[in-house]
Amino acid sequence: MSPVKRIWAPWRMRYIKGPKKDECIFCFDPSLDEERYVLRREEFAFVLLNKYPYTNGHLLVVPTKHASHPKDLDDREYQALTALLLFSMTALEKVLAPHGMNVGMNLKRAAGAGVDQHLHFHIVPRWDGDHNYVAVLGEVRVINEHLLETYRQLKPAFK
């Protein structure tokens, strides 16, 4: 029998015990943008840091329209969303200099969508060797930088 592995994450208790809202996590008042780590907001789309990232700099590109599938967006909305996706990838390359990126969208829960009622792109910067023995053996991801620090670094590139 293998020993029990413990990972201490006391900051998660606030989330676990906190009030749960029935509302969509992406449908919020723009006055909360800084608190929600929004890097850029445009008429039809916005980009923000993922609060539960796979790596530092993990971004979400979201249409402002509440839609669960790309077919629910009109041409202008979809074009604005993908233009912001490309802009965000360029900003990440400029500021964080990743060696590569994973870019994608999970549609519906069966496909891995954590938020399946409001579509969004994930941009996950990757570096050679970014998943070391801790992730492989411990099945735990180590994020090398605090979310606020990543936000501060990226914000100027999104103006």
Of how many residues is the chain composed?
A: 159
Instruction: Identify the active-site residue in 120, 122, 131, 146.
Output: 120
Reading the block at residue 96, the tokens are 């964080």
* β-pair partners for 104: 122
The amino acid at 114:
G
* β-pair partners for 42: none
Reading the block at residue 3, the tokens are 């020993």
Active site residue 146: no
Point out the residues that are catalytic: 120
